[in-house]
Amino acid sequence: MRKAGEITGGELAHRFAEVALADRLNVRIEQAGEDQWTVWAIDEDERDRIAAELEAFLADPESDRYADAAEKAQQRRREAELAAKASRKRQIDLKQRWSGPLWKRCPVTVGLAAITCLVALLTFDPGEGFFNGFGRLERPVRMLLLITTYQEADRPGWIEFDGLEPIWEGQIWRVFTPMFLHFGLLHLTFNLMWLWTLGASIELRRGGLRLLLLVLTIAAISNLAEYNCSFELSTGFSFKKSVLFGGLSGVNYGLFGYLWVRAKTDPRSGFIMPQQTAVLMMIWLVICTTGAIGPIANVAHFVGLAVGAAIGAVPWLLSRLQRV
C-alpha cells in the first residue's frame, strides 16, 4: 500500500470511501488522529489516480459528479456479494471430500457397487455352486435387467429374443442395466475392484453427478454395441446379435479411457494413470479377445474404452479450438 492523501472530518472520509467504491478504486481509509483520516492505495499502480481523485473531491465535495456515488457504491456491494456467493458454490470442501465417511466421499461409486452386489445376490443360483452361481438365476431379476427379453427356442440350447422392442416400448432402463449383471464370483469381484479404483478417482475430483453421467453414457453406448456386434480373434468381427451379456467391464474400460486421456492431456486435472496400470488394462483387453477365458463382451470393452477416451479428450479439443 502507498499513501494517497489525507482527509479532515469523518463525514468527508466516509463520502470519499463511497466515491472510491463507485469508481472501483481500491482504497483503505484509516483514522490517523482525532478527526484526521489517511487514504491508502491498496494497489500501488493506482496511487496517482487515487491521489488525483482525492484532490478533486476535496476541492469540491458537493459537485454533481458525486451525487449518485452512494447509490453506485451500494450497487458495487451487491455485485461483490453475488460474486462471493457464486464463488462459494464453486468451492469444494476438500476436508469433507477426502476424510469423510466412504459413502459421503463417493456416494455414486458406493451406490453402483451396492446395486451390483444386490443384483448378484438376487440372481444367485445355489445349484451352480458358490463360484459360478452369480447371475445364473434367470427370473425375475436377470430377465428384467438384460438388454432385451428372450425365450427358449425349439432347438436345444438356443434362444429367441425380442430385438429392442422392449426398449422402444418404454423399458429404457435396459440400455443401462446389463452393467449390473455378473456371471460368477471372479467376474463380480474384479469388476467391483476396478469400479472402486477408477470410479472413486473420478468422483473425488469431479463429483458424483459427472461420474454418474459418464457411467450412464458409456454403459448405454457399449451395451448397444455389444448387442449388435461380436468380436473374437478366432472368428473376427461380425454383426451377430447377442443378449446374454452383462458386467461393469465395458464401463470400467470407459472410465479407464477417460482417466488415461485426461491424465495425458491435462496434468493439472489431478488425474493420474500409472503406466503399469495402463499396460495391465491393455494386456487384459487383448487376452479377452482370444476366447481363452470364455465368452467375453469384447465389443463392449473396445467401445467403452473409445467412448471414455473421447469424452476425456473433449476439454483438450475445446482448448485447442479456442487457440485457433
Q: What is the CATH number of the domain that holds 72?
A: 3.30.70
Do 47 and 106 fall into the same domain? Answer: no
Q: How far is CA 139 from CA 121, 178, 215, 227, 245, in A?
A: 13, 14, 26, 20, 15
Are 67 and 190 found together in one domain? no
- Show which of 38, 70, 90 is a domain's final residue: 90
Let me know whether 36 and 149 are in one domain: no
Whether residue 98 is found in the same domain as residue 211 = yes
**Shared-domain flag, residues 131 and 155:** yes
| CB-CB neighbours of 43 under 10 Å | 13
- Show the cell assigned to 153: 427356442
Banded pLDDT at 87 (limits 50, 70, 90): confident
pLDDT of residue 89: 65
- Domain boundary (58, 90, 122) is at 90
Q: How far is CA 65 from the centre of its chain?
A: 50
Q: Is the pLDDT of residue 28 over 80?
A: yes
Q: How far is C-alpha 121 from the geometric centre of its chain's CA atoms? A: 29
pLDDT at 284 over 90: yes
Is the same domain home to 46 and 83?
Answer: yes
**Structure letter (DSSP) for residue 305:** H
Q: What is the pLDDT of residues 138-190, one digit of tens each?
A: 888 999 999 999 887 777 767 788 889 999 999 999 999 999 999 999 999 99
What pairs with residue 36 in β-bridges? 8
Residues 45 and 190 in one domain: no
Q: What angle do CA 260, 263, 266 make, to 5 degrees?
A: 135
Q: Are residues 105 and 50 in the same domain?
A: no
Please report the pLDDT score of residue 94 as a whole number.
55
Residue 135: pLDDT band with limits 50, 70, 90: very high
Q: Which of the four pLDDT bands, split at 50, 70 and 90, describes residue 95?
A: low
Conformational region of residue 135, where left means phi above 0, alpha means psi within -120 to 50, and beta covers everything else: left
Q: What is the mean pLDDT of residues 100-117?
A: 90
Question: Are residues 26 and 44 located together in one domain of the fold?
Answer: yes
Measured CA to CA, the distance from residue 223 to residue 179 in angstroms comes to: 8
- Contact between residue 274 and residue 242 where contact means Cβ atoms under 8 Å apart: no
Which range marks the domain in which residue 244 is found? Answer: 94-323
Distance (Å, whole) CA 247 – CA 82: 46
The DSSP element (H or E) to which 237 belongs, if any, is strand 236-238
Nearest to 24 by CA among 53, 60, 4: 53
Same-domain status, 112 and 78 = no
Instruction: Mark whether 113 and 71 lie in a shared domain.
Output: no
Strand partners, 119: none
Residue 135 half-sphere exposure toward CB, CA atoms < 13 A: 23
| Span 15-34, average pLDDT | 89
Cα 110 vs. chain centroid, distance in angstroms? 15
Look at residue 97 in the predicted model and tell me its pLDDT. 57
Domain count, the chain: 2
Note the pLDDT of residue 186.
Answer: 94
Give residue 235's pLDDT: 87
Q: Which three cell numbers stand for residue 80?
A: 461483490
pLDDT value for 170: 95
Q: Do 123 and 134 form a contact (C-beta atoms < 8 A)? A: yes
pLDDT score of 322: 81
CB distance 253 to 301 below 8 Å: yes
Q: Flag the least confident range among 6-15, 112-121, 249-258.
A: 6-15
pLDDT value of position 43: 86
Last residue of a domain, one of 40, 64, 90: 90
For residue 263, pLDDT beyond 90 = yes
Q: Which CATH number is 282's domain given?
A: 1.20.1540.10
SS3 217: helix
Same domain membership, residue 247 and residue 218: yes
Residues 6+ apart with CB under 8 A from 7: 13, 16, 29, 36, 37, 38, 39, 54, 58
pLDDT category of residue 250 using cuts at 50, 70 and 90:
very high
